[in-house]
Structure 1
């Protein structure tokens, strides 16, 4: 029955999209680690194009050492699970290209920027791929002088994606465009990994991370008591109530029902000097509440006077120039307390919610919770994209901000740097024999020394390398490294994927 359902899906998509065209099929095999268990991986990735419509599927299968299929990704037990299973297999579905009046893409979203990027800048929903597969949507519609954009980062979490945004722009007067964006993350805690999708993150249920029917050891005890005890026995009922109470207290202690919503709005103006150069200005405001860093018992006055509402950012003037091989952007910017530019950045799905160890216990901290660290700041932002002599594609962004920043050693704010550096290098592999892919990127955000390579939760490093092994066969190595706080320091979280890709 299971094999019949998979075959039906493949045949249906092939029939709808593959008429009168030659589809491209690639396959891969390798290994993947899920919850510390190694699985053999096999995947088939057909790409089908019909006119302006393009479809890429990702049909993947994981087998353990005994040959048993890991079926969490092929779950047809309910309508909700069927929906998530089908959406999960879409790597992309697109109509047209971004420059068309009507364009949309469902699936992977490599880079999303809204307006001039003060809120959403370079957001990507594929940083954890294939460990976490998100299926987003980017929809653009242009009519007359109005441009509309809608973004949803993960249709599998339809009600609680990391990024849910609506943006638009129109020509206010000749050569002057007005733009806006509305952004929300309804539940930052959804950023915690939940392999079995039962509502309890893996760190809460490490022994049941892949068992959607159980999250706490007491459930086994309760089921045993219900099976062997008489419902009228007071001792049994007392033990059941005590076990249920312990589970409830544990859940309340972790604040699992606290969604911690954060939202933002931006308004901007752009003056087009000519086809290559423009001036811009943008204002953005975050909505939510951060933590109060002061002790209510020993620092009563500071605690009561602290404003935990999120703040705003302002770009009074910016300049963008585009040439054939170089794009340059430079702006001045400033912000109030409890605010960060580029809140939804490339690393957002990692920093959205984190589990840290504090006083021997696991505590969930969201990105919003830590905004109290950042006080008033002023600075500038420079970004460059260049195709250097057709040898490599370089992307670089440096944001320098100086102002107040929380210092735990003095338990107060002091003047400090708060800067961000991002760079990506994509080498033209046509000049290197046998190499098909060569990419590397590095990001260090909101740091006093972004070039010191001192890792924290805002550090992200990655690479993609592909080497041709034979005709139509490429060995691909993908690596990602981020960091989480543990005890007194930051521990690296490494993800490495090795696979052999075959083009049929």
Structure 2
């Protein structure tokens, strides 16, 4: 019986893989990104032969270009600074195929079909086609149509005002007005359309040896005097920007290799290093591989050995190995875990294992299976930690039960939260508390003279011998002890003069954390230009006896604007989004013991006990596109009861650098999670910025700054030396 069901599962997954309607990336240059269906603000780098699903959104950056083959064989050319949504793939011959172009320039080569209708929508217009070649220019409240071949029905969204635009004609539609009567294309426009049509990759031309130039296809001239401003880069989630991933520049069909070289300086553990990095990436179909081969050289010319002295370090040179993409029937990625989320985020939201990169390099796993009604996702934060008694593991199962009602269950388990603390020699004592962090045989130096207590005849540093064991091991008689206090009461003397046994990560109590969550969601409105989903969540921390409820919650999407709002109720010992962007910084922190007055690590699980009130409140958030110049994203949570307030604030700002000469990207972020006092420095706070200046085509200067905090002296304040951690990366990036 078990074997038979195994074959059923295999056949089911094979059918999903074979018959799923997908679009293919045929050719691309420059920076092209995709936002997967249902993902909020999470943009991934697009690679050649990427499978694109229904509702995916594709955008191109400056000097970028992409060709996409749709399921019916039609081709869309996405020119620079453009964005479109693959709105509908037909499931039957008589269904329509629809593309939504929000901003930019697009050239369509539509395959003829007897029954199927091909529709292109914009914020103000609709074009219906059955086999033709045409171009759309979408800019704000107007859309321009230029037809090279065939016939296009062009009109407003209501379908009230329409015109028939034939070969060699054009029309313009502005919001609130009917489309202009068709008029003839200028000679310059005809030539430009012919050039774009002729540069389609994959079509054999009469001169097959001629190679396409590595520049984006030009736009028609004539009446289109100005290139429409590009869409602003979507606001990233409230997280630190990750190490620059290599972007495809030019690849041949079926796969390719591209490489980036960086030369600059970076701060690691408070020390400045020169950096030389080689970042090759290649893709073959669904397989993608990216390496991070970086050398960090100090002012003496020595290579930082911590990055190359073990087999684990060699394994960490893999930035990622990927098969497919999130949302595909099968998705596997080994390497960097970025912006990971479970369900609607009440347990895990925006988690990243690269928050301390390059100080700490973690190699994790993302895994996903997606069927027609069921789905499964899993995540591991760090393989090295998993094999050393730790590891953060997360999983989620979803099931579409009745109609559009979707149910989900999530589980997160952290085997040892203290494993986030550095322990170079592996003796279990965190480096910050270990006077001998590179020698696993020693961990105590009571008088601070640099000699371990085991080898120190005078352990308290008062000038008298007090170590009988040391005397015996070195051939002396114990009568040489001349410390009167020690001789009077050795046990009491040890308690008052020697440091206690140090904290050991592996023997600690309250080191594990376990959490589970259930959720349900239902789409209330699912229209072309408006989507509204309601949802509810419940989560529980069994070790802390804490629970939280979100009901109701609403998520809305209008065009490319996302907004959400939730009402929340929490019991004692519960915090939302517990596993978040700064989780690796908060898993274990240092606090001063009330009884002994010594600094000891405390797990995030134990700190939940300090939340001793039942809380009620709300969270709201949205991404705003302001005048097509910048995108501002923000989230605010306010939970309170009596004198206790728990608040979260996230803010991101990205500029549309097309308006700024020589600037390839510019953005900043601030993130503070579950703080009792907003904008006060805490270990749950992270801020930074990134700016990239173009030196020449293919070369740019990148400045990447990130600031985090560690309360090393355990006084509950961020003020001591080394407690503000600044990571600055300045490098010249060359892509070829």
CA contact (8 A) 1:46 1:56 kept: yes
Matched, 1:437 2:665: yes
Q: Where is the helix percentage greater, Structure 1 or Structure 2?
A: 1
Matched, 1:383 2:612: no
- Partner deviation per Cα, 1:51-83 (whole Å, 9 max, x = no partner): 11111100111223332322222224xxxxx2x
Q: CA deviation at 1:231?
A: 6.5
Q: CA deviation at 1:312?
A: 0.2
- Partner deviation per Cα, 1:429-481 (whole Å, 9 max, x = no partner): 2222121221211122223443xx22223222122222223332222222222
> How far apart, in 2, do the equivalents of 1:143 and 1:366 lie?
38
Residue 333 of structure 1 is matched in structure 2 by 568
Number of equivalenced pairs? 443
Residue 268 of structure 1 is matched in structure 2 by 519
Q: Aligned runs of 1:269-418 on 2, under 5 Å?
A: 269-275=520-526, 276-288=531-543, 309-357=544-592, 361-374=598-611, 375-403=613-641, 414-418=642-646
> How far apart, in 2, do the equivalents of 1:232 and 1:66 lie?
40
With over 3 angstroms needed to count, the CA separation of the structure-2 counterparts of 1:32 and 1:358, relative to structure 1, is: farther
CA contact (8 A) 1:168 1:179 kept: yes
Q: Aligned runs of 1:164-243 on 2, under 5 Å?
A: 164-195=393-424, 199-205=428-434, 208-209=436-437, 215=443, 233=475
Matched, 1:426 2:654: yes
- 3-state DSSP of counterpart to 1:401: strand
> How far apart, in 1, do the equivalents of 2:652 and 2:524 lie?
29
- 3-state DSSP of counterpart to 1:493: strand
CA contact (8 A) 1:18 1:50 kept: no
For residue 153 of structure 1, the aligned residue among 369, 374, 381 is 381
With over 3 angstroms needed to count, the CA separation of the structure-2 counterparts of 1:328 and 1:69, relative to structure 1, is: same
- Partner deviation per Cα, 1:164-221 (whole Å, 9 max, x = no partner): 101010111111111000001111111212345554322023x544566765568868
Residue 707 of structure 2 is matched in structure 1 by 481
Deviates more, 1:140-149 or 1:86-95: 86-95
Matched, 1:27 2:278: no
- Partner deviation per Cα, 1:107-127 (whole Å, 9 max, x = no partner): 122201101111001111111
> How far apart, in 2, do the equivalents of 1:398 and 1:378 lie?
14
Q: CA deviation at 1:254?
A: 5.8
Residue 71 of structure 1 is matched in structure 2 by 305
Deviates more, 1:168-177 or 1:91-100: 91-100
List runs of 5+ in structure 1 lacking aligned partners: 1-16, 77-81, 289-308, 404-413
Deviates more, 1:190-199 or 1:364-373: 190-199
With over 3 angstroms needed to count, the CA separation of the structure-2 counterparts of 1:38 and 1:460, relative to structure 1, is: closer
Residue 456 of structure 1 is matched in structure 2 by 682
- Partner deviation per Cα, 1:269-298 (whole Å, 9 max, x = no partner): 11122432211111100132xxxxxxxxxx
- 3-state DSSP of counterpart to 1:271: strand
- 3-state DSSP of counterpart to 1:72: helix
List runs of 5+ in structure 2 lacking aligned partners: 1-250, 458-469, 482-489
Normalised to the residue count of structure 2, the TM-score between the two structures is 0.55
CA contact (8 A) 2:340 2:350 kept: yes
Q: Where is the strand percentage greater, Structure 1 or Structure 2?
A: 1
With over 3 angstroms needed to count, the CA separation of the structure-2 counterparts of 1:435 and 1:232, relative to structure 1, is: closer
CA contact (8 A) 2:516 2:540 kept: yes
CA contact (8 A) 1:152 1:161 kept: no
> How far apart, in 2, do the equivalents of 1:417 and 1:386 lie?
27
- Partner deviation per Cα, 1:198-251 (whole Å, 9 max, x = no partner): 54322023x5445667655688686899xx999794759x99xx9xx99x9744
> How far apart, in 2, do the equivalents of 1:208 and 1:56 lie?
36
CA contact (8 A) 1:18 1:49 kept: no
Residue 288 of structure 2 is matched in structure 1 by 54
The structure number with the bigger radius of gyration is 2
CA contact (8 A) 1:88 1:156 kept: no
With over 3 angstroms needed to count, the CA separation of the structure-2 counterparts of 1:387 and 1:96, relative to structure 1, is: farther
> How far apart, in 2, do the equivalents of 1:439 and 1:229 lie?
63
Q: CA deviation at 1:158?
A: 1.8
> How far apart, in 2, do the equivalents of 1:394 and 1:128 lie?
25
With over 3 angstroms needed to count, the CA separation of the structure-2 counterparts of 1:356 and 1:467, relative to structure 1, is: farther
> How far apart, in 2, do the equivalents of 1:261 and 1:395 lie?
34
> How far apart, in 2, do the equivalents of 1:231 and 1:215 lie?
19
> How far apart, in 1, do the equivalents of 2:355 and 2:625 lie?
24
Residue 257 of structure 1 is matched in structure 2 by 507
Q: Aligned runs of 1:34-113 on 2, under 5 Å?
A: 34-76=268-310, 82=311, 84-113=312-341
